[in-house]
Amino acid sequence: MAFEGLTERLQNALGKLRKKGKVSEADVNTAMREIRMALLEADVNFKVVKDFINTVKKRAVGAEVLDSLTPAQQIVKIVDEELTKMMGEKAVPLNKAPHIPTIIMMVGLQGAGKTTTAGKLAYRLKTKEHARPMFIAADVYRPAAIDQLKQIGENIDVPVFEMGTDTDPVEIVRQGLTQASLQNNDYVIIDTAGRLQIDEKLMQELQNIKDLAKPNEILLVVDAMTGQAAVDVAEGFNKDLDITGVVLTKLDGDTRGGAALSIRAVTGKPIKFIGQGEKKNDLDIFYPDRMANRILG
Ligand code: GDP
């Protein structure tokens, strides 16, 4: 289960406070030390943890909390609120183009779940908005990637524009966009190549696609299971591409929580969706307050 260890440790630390009728500043400090350790062990970014602990401490040791009738309860509420803030406070909707089509570029490292997520997103748009999305298969390095996208397209009845693996991805995207406007598609979802790690060639290619397609949304797909590495990946892609949002996948696994809690604070970019399974409807909007509640258990 996701966040299992973190939830248990947070509940432990806060539970100790709850047992006391009166809470002293020293009690707060002890609890904060435990929460700090719990967050670091969950692989939350060091600086994010530091800022979080400082803010919670400052709010918690005030007289209006410690002298209140329910100090522990109020501290739990402060922790909840600050966790929510750390993750961006509010859900951020998908960007929309003023005129169709809205162009969404999916980027990410190989294996993060980019193609699967492209499928889930298209399915979501179809079912929730009665949209008419089209895919462009621009990952020309893995022939299997095109087949995978075609299979997904067939499964959810979304057309896939592809030109095999011998054409330059920028040219594929150019022709794909023409096709989309002929077909009147209201969303175009571009599946781009991923690699095992960020490299200059990948970034240059993505930059070229971005320059041509001028996407309304550049969604970076990262694997929550990779913790702090997912945050580094997000920083790298954001620096080069100025992404507009993140999709955090594999939250159905036993991820520790670091990526969910750090990405927004480190990159300034919102997590827009979370992937919670391999099936077509396993994609949910990311609500920071719900996630904070889930983490607190
Ligand atoms: P890509 O290389 O980034 O395009 O990755 P794929 O879309 O091929 O996904 C890699 C693997 O991760 C596949 O086996 C997917 O089924 C799986 N996957 C993607 N998203 C999720 C998710 O949210 N939860 C789980 N459990 N598996 C996922």
Alpha carbon nearest to ligand 1 atom 26, residue: 277
Which atom of ligand 1 lies at the shortest distance from residue 139's CA? 4
What are the φ/ψ torsions at residue 74 (nearest 5 degrees)? -70, -35
The contacts of residue 28 (CB under 8 Å, 6+ apart) are 17, 57, 60, 61, 66, 75
Q: Supply the pLDDT for residue 143.
A: 82
The per-residue pLDDT of the chain, averaged, comes to 96
Location of structure tokens 């079912």: 127
- pLDDT at position 1 over 80: no
Each residue's pLDDT tens digit, 67-76 = 898 999 999 9
* Residue 268, CA distances (Å) to 172, 246, 250, 262, 271 in order: 31, 11, 22, 10, 10
* CA angle centred on 106, ends 100 and 112, rounded to 5°: 155
3-state SS, residue 144 = helix
CA-nearest residue for atom 19, ligand 1, is: 113
Is 111 annotated as a binding-site member? yes
Q: Which of 105, 191, 278, 279 to mutate to test the pocket of ligand 1 (most atoms within 8 A of CB)?
A: 278
pLDDT single digits (tens) 100-152: 999 999 999 999 999 999 999 999 999 999 999 999 999 999 889 999 999 99
Average of pLDDT values for 214-230?
96
Ligand 1: distance of its center to the CA of 56 in Å?
36
* Phi-psi sector, 249: left (phi>0), alpha (psi -120 to 50), beta: beta
Out of 116, 190, 225, 255, give the residue to mutate to test ligand 1, the one with the largest number of ligand atoms within 8 Å of its CB: 116
CA nearest neighbour of 273 among 264, 286, 258: 286
pLDDT given at position 271: 98
What interface predicted TM-score (ipTM) does this complex get? 0.99
Is pLDDT above 90 for 64?
no
Kindly state if the Cβ of 113 falls inside 6 Å of ligand 1.
yes
Q: Mean pLDDT throughout 88-94?
A: 97
How far is Cα 225 from Cα 222, in angstroms, rounded to an integer? 9
